[in-house]
Chain A
Amino acid sequence: MFIHLFKLNPITQKRLRRFKKIKRGYYSLIILTLLTVISLFCNFIANKRAIIVKYDGRYYFPTFKFYDMATFSQTDEWGFDDTEADYRSMKKQFKGTNNFVLMPLVPFDPYENDFDYYREPPPNPPDRRHWFGTDSQGRDVFARLLYGFRVSIMFALIFVFISQIAGTIIGSLQGYLAGKFDIYTQRVIEIWSTLPFLYIVIIMATFFKSGFLMLLFIMTLFWWMGITYYMRTEMYREKTRQYVLAARSYGASHFRIVFKHLLPNCLTPLITFAPFAVVGAIGALTGLDYLGYGLPAPTPSWGELIDQALQIQNRDKIWLTIAPFGAISITLILVTLVGESIREAFDPKQYARYK
């Protein structure tokens, strides 16, 4: 029964057309969508495992599957062959034979320590082997940025989706039911939202073993209040319209009135605030990771990269600073441009402007 929320009525279509006309937002949205879709496939872009291997007439797709060295008649320096195959050396190995290997664009995964190639201890500056250099544990910075983007954007999207839904339901009921429910819930929200978000999440994160889902839960618990204010006032305004009376007069249930009749008329704040909520969520997650209370240790994350960059012994390793800050700035600018353009496209004042 919620399909009607996504149906395009003429006003929405008009807004979409206007959004398309605001080039900076439209192109930002396209770039962001592309990046997000690409990041879903980053196992094929930055990985130590090959995408396709043809060996002895058979094809192998090792991206998500373990093959040992014996499969490709390799041995390591001590003569064992039951460890993972070394795909990076295959190009040399297969030279002059029928076999071939297709490696990802960046042939390193974000967890791998690349110590042996360099004489200097990590972090090593950018070169042809590691485009953005390596971090203090010899891991490829580009791969970590890419995987970090996936984690950040997915976390932010899921987080914003859940918290906006929770806030919408509670705010809508407050506005619609009004009276005692509204008064008491509003007081609870006011108290709840004075709790300092980051401190509370840090405290909670030390008590519970922090993982992706746990962090999502904790952060949602302290973030859903923002949208309730807007949904509440939207409902207060909208429920006085006579179509609500009409629906009540033929006996429509409160649930139906709120979610079928009223909610589609109250979506504007939800849509206009969502991109800015994403900005906030990415910022908050990066901040938590930087402080070390975010996602657990080996997870590639931007906050953790920034933490490395700001450590005293790494102050002269400028690539460690530029890469994560650049990535965060670009992402946040893109999201903000999208949000700001949506806000402009939805601005009702424009309808009244004479041309």
Chain B
Amino acid sequence: MKDALDPENGKFILRVNSLVKHYPLRGGILSRKIGYVKAVQDVSLDIREGETLGLVGESGCGKSTLARTMILLEKPTSGNILFEGKDIASLSSKELFQVRRKIQMIFQDPYSSLNPRMTIGEIIRDPLIVHKTGSRKEQEEKVASLLIRVGLSPDMMDRYPHEFSGGQRQRIGIARALALDPQILIADEPVSSLDVSVQSQALNLLTELQKDMELTYLFISHDLSVVEYISDRIAVMYLGRIVEMGDTKEIFENPAHPYTRALMEAVPVPDPKRGGRKIILKGEPPSAIHPPSGCAFHPRCPFVIPECRKQLPLLEPFSPRNTSSHLVACIRK
């Protein structure tokens, strides 16, 4: 499976190899382990320098867990995470502390991601204090410049989060993530809780920042249109596994996995003349505790054949002609 990733196509900055995250499920009076929630199962992907990798999937498929495990907010069950050639999962806490400043995260909920008891200035300055960057005055100047950078005014520094709108709060979250001059930003559904009009502003801000500061993004969303807009490449996730990955254009033109196609056809298009859908997803997403045998998508797949129930499809190049950029995990591709 490692071979399916192409090391030559651009320099990768972060690479994830067979990452697994299982949460033990405890029950009974002795709270023994009675099973596992298989949140992330054997995920491999690479993020190239300067690109935006979009990660899509329905809620509960393990997108956020993958992101949190990638920056070691959760301990991976197995697998490794290579950042600048080093496996950060096996670093000492001191070395990890130094890596943390290079990979920062933007959170989904702009309401709970800012501490209500701290002023905006304190919130953005806190990473600088933790990493002991510069004097107090330098830190305050940095905070002011960050606020300007994300389109807010420096005199908002002494105000509290509840005085801001959702969009402004998300900008504050972005400013905090930028405080340590990171190389990679992991954006976990950064716009999904914002109004559509505010969403586009936030997305434009993110693309602008990427251009100016040479950032690399891992952009997580369940909204395909948002991902299409911002991403260079897309990875589609289903029940803890990546089922399709490739360049945005390629994926949108030739979606190979039935799940990807179902997702795309579910995107509302403002055109009343557009014909009916081809694939409509039936049923609930399956349980991550007892995932279906073989291909996890088979209970909902319209093209299911008996083989699908037995064989776990590997992430392989879509067509022989196009060896590198478009990978799919489906035996009927």
Contacts and interface: CB of A to CB of B under 8 A. Distances in A.
Given A9-B160, A247-B126, A256-B130, A242 B112 contact: yes
B112 A252 contact: no
Contacts of B100: 249-251
Contacts of A252: 126, 130
A348 interface: no
Nearest to A248: B73
Interface in B83-108: 96-97, 100-101, 104-105, 107-108
A246 B117 contact: no
Interface in B105-138: 105, 107-109, 112-118, 123, 126-127, 130-131
Nearest to B99: A251
Interface in A1-50: 4, 9-11
Contacts of B131: 250-251
A265 B130 contact: no
Contact of A249 (B71, B112, B116, B117): B71
A58 interface: no
Contact of A265 (B107, B117, B162, B173): B117
A65 interface: no
Given A10-B160, A242-B107, A245-B73, A250 B112 contact: no
Nearest to B180: A250
B114 A243 contact: yes
Contacts of B97: 251
A250 B104 contact: yes
Contacts of B118: 4, 261, 264
B213 to A, nearest CB: 17
Interface string A217-257: 00000000000000000000000011101111111110010
Interface in B232-252: none
Given A242-B107, A243-B113, A261-B115, A249 B130 contact: no
B112 A241 contact: yes
Contact of B115 (A249, A250, A265): A265
Contacts, number: 67
Nearest to B107: A242
Interface residues of A, number: 20
Interface string B153-169: 00000001011000000
Interface string B169-188: 00001001001100000000
Contacts of B101: 250-251
A251 B71 CA distance: 11
B113 A246 contact: yes
A248 B123 CA distance: 13
Contacts of B71: 249
Contact of B116 (A11, A246, A248, A250): A11
A265 B116 contact: yes
Contact of B117 (A9, A245, A251): A9
A251 B176 CA distance: 13
Nearest to B128: A250
Kindly state the interface size class of chain B when it binds its partner.
20 to 34
A249 B160 CA distance: 22
B115 A243 contact: yes
A9 B123 CA distance: 14
Given A9-B160, A251-B131, A246 B108 contact: no
B173 to A, nearest CB: 8
B104 A264 contact: no
Contacts of B73: 245, 248-249
B261 interface: no
Interface in A254-291: 256, 261, 264-265
A200 to B, nearest CB: 32
A11 B160 CA distance: 10
A241 B108 CA distance: 11
B286 to A, nearest CB: 26
Contacts of B116: 9, 11, 265
B309 interface: no
B220 to A, nearest CB: 14
A251 to B, nearest CB: 4
A15 to B, nearest CB: 13
A242 B108 contact: yes
Interface in B46-84: 68, 71, 73
B107 A245 contact: yes
Contacts of B126: 247, 250, 252
A265 B101 CA distance: 26
A159 to B, nearest CB: 28
Nearest to B122: A4
B130 A246 contact: no
Nearest to A10: B160
A249 B107 CA distance: 11
Nearest to A256: B130
A61 B179 CA distance: 62
Contacts of B108: 242
Contacts of A250: 100-101, 104, 126-127, 130-131, 176, 179-180
Which of A248, A249, A264 has the most CB atoms of chain B within a 10 A radius of its CB?
A249
B103 to A, nearest CB: 8
B113 A242 contact: yes
Given A9-B160, A10-B160, A249 B114 contact: no
A296 B107 CA distance: 60
B23 to A, nearest CB: 14
Top 4 A-B residue pairs of the complex, sorted by shortest distance between their CB atoms: A242-B113, A264-B117, A250-B127, A251-B100
Interface of A: 4, 9-11, 241-243, 245-253, 256, 261, 264-265
7 contacts: A9-B116, A245-B107, A246-B107, A249-B73, A250-B130, A252-B126, A265-B116
Interface of B: 68, 71, 73, 96-97, 100-101, 104-105, 107-109, 112-118, 123, 126-127, 130-131, 160, 162-163, 173, 176, 179-180
